[in-house]
Amino acid sequence: MHISDGILSVPILASGALLTVGGTVLGLKHLQYEKVPQTAILSSAFFVASLIHVPLGPSSVHLILNGLAGIILGWVTFPALLIALFLQAVLFQFGGLTTLGVNTFNMAFPGVVVYFICGSLLKMRRTHFITLAGILAATFGVSLAGICVALELAFTGQGFIPVAKLVLIAHVPVVVIEATITAIILNFLYKAKPEIIGVNK
Amino acid sequence: MKCYWISLSVILFFVLFPLVTSAHKIMTFAYVENGIVYTETYFSGGGKAKNAKVMVYDTMTNKLLLTGTTDAKGYFHFKPPAITDLKIVVEAELGHRAVTKVKAKDLKSISKEVANISPQETAVESSSVQTHQVTIEDMRQLIREEVSRELKPLFEKIIQVEQRLERPSLTQIFGGIGYILGILGIWAYFKAKKG
């Protein structure tokens, strides 16, 4: 999912950077004191998740966990993923500094969408609704990110449909694994610390 | 308190898991043998980057010299059309890109010998020693083949070492987590002061 330096054109890089700046400003406004520890933990989880390589399917893919970050953090996903992606670019050379804005948008924006779509499912306070929220969060998070990547690559002359197909098919195993992880973590949080997922028992 | 232990173990799980698995980006390596440039492209997980687009540029003029695609093993080789510094760009699917360089002097050493030295020397040899069919050039060729055969495992070893160096180390992983906690810790500190 990390787009490397030197592939996208300047207008796309610039608009990605602008959108990310906007999202980050909005996110920092939503970042309350009590939310800082969970932001740090989800940011670290995202940072390390990209190192978990899933050796299935046609391409080489890794976990993303943007759905999990999104459903818990909402707009704060932007600053959380921005820090993690910056460190991934600097330390591991994943993606790059010029594509930092685009990559952050690609993965954080689906997280915010997930927050608004699946957030209400958590409020139902039923285990199976929370499981469903986890599955949907992972599915939307990963596939929307894939669609964003395919859209941007379409501007470089690669056809949108074939790239989108490739991204989505390659990420099917990732979606399955992430759906399981997200559902388990959300259910655990619901039992142990419901306020983290915005539910009061 | 229980929650912190759980979050700690979740983080530890994510930190230790990559030790058995690995990361995601592409890397490309090039070496020259007999005037032919060989490139190998991998995903950093060790998987071969097959059907990736290869573009070879002249570093000086930035002119595209030739293009090609990697085979099923991620290999691609070509005969450089000109002796200059080459920039080899490999693009795999989903926006992955890697760059490697080959210096002109690595290409030159071989082609110069073939081009310049051989005409005079072989001419002298063949006229003076009629009975011996083995010319200097034949010997040169033989030695070159032997040496490159002997060096092949060494090249492979070097590529393996380079590959290992490209992989994220445990220090970097822990360092990254430390930075994230530190940055957000500072944020929390200032938030707390204000509040």
H or E stretch at B8: helix B2-16
Domain presence at residue B113: yes
Report pLDDT digits (tens) over B84-143.
888 888 887 777 788 888 888 777 655 544 444 444 444 444 455 555 577 888 888 888
Mean pLDDT of B178-188: 92
Q: Work out the average pLDDT over A140-167.
A: 84
- Does the CB of A33 have a partner CB in chain B at under 8 Å? yes
CA-based nearest distance A110→chain B, Å: 18
Evaluate the CA torsion angle B154, B156, B162, B168 in order and state its sign: negative
Residue B23 confidence (pLDDT) = 40
Has residue B187 been placed in a domain?
Answer: no
| CB within 8 Å of chain B, chain A residues 87-146 | 87-88, 91-94
Residue B153 in domain: yes
DSSP annotation string for B132-147: ----HHHHHHHHHHHH
Answer whether residue B47 is part of any domain: yes
- Do the domain assignments include residue B5? no
Q: Which domain holds residue B121?
A: 26-167
At B22 the pLDDT is 36
The whole-number pLDDT of residue A58 equals 56
Q: What is the CATH number of the domain that holds B161?
A: 2.60.40.10
* Spatial separation of the C-alpha atoms in residues A42 and A36, rounded to whole Å: 10
Q: At what angle do helices A77-87 and A10-30 cross, to 10 degrees?
A: 130
Which residues, numbered 2 to 21 in chain A, qualify as contacts with chain B under a Cβ-Cβ cut-off of 8 Å? Answer: 2-8
Indicate the number of domains in chain B.
1
Task: Give the residue, B40 or B5, on which the prediction is more confident.
Answer: B40
How many CA atoms, within 13 angstroms, populate the side-chain half-sphere of residue B126?
9
For B38-82, write each residue's pLDDT tens digit: 888 877 656 777 788 888 888 888 888 888 888 888 888 888 888
Q: Could you read off the pLDDT of A39-48 as tens digits, one per residue?
A: 999 999 999 9
Element (H, E) at B54: strand B53-58
The complex's ipTM?
A: 0.84
In contact, B5 and A188? CB cutoff 8 Å: no
Domains of chain A and CATH, by start = 10-193 (1.10.1760.20)
- Does B13 fall in a domain? no
Residue of B10, B164, B165, B180 to mutate when probing chain A, most A C-beta within 10 A:
B180
Give the per-residue pLDDT at A81.
95
| Cβ proximity of A3 and A95 under 8 Å | yes
Q: What DSSP element (H or E) covers A181?
A: helix A172-192
* Residue whose C-alpha is closest to residue B14's, from B170, B182, B185, B179: B170
B174: in domain = no
Q: What are phi and psi of B3, to 5 degrees?
A: -60, -35
pTM of the model: 0.73
Q: Do A53 and B24 touch (CB under 8 A)?
A: yes
B106: CB partners within 8 A, 6+ apart: B32
Which residues in chain B are closer than 8 Å to A3, comparing Cβ atoms? 94-95
| 8 Å CB contact of A192 and B2 | yes
Strand partners, B96: B92
Give pLDDT tens digits for A101-137: 999 999 999 999 999 998 888 888 888 899 999 999 9
Which contiguous run of DSSP H or E holds residue A30? helix A10-30
Would residue B195 count as lying in a domain? no
Q: Is the pLDDT of residue A172 over 50?
A: yes
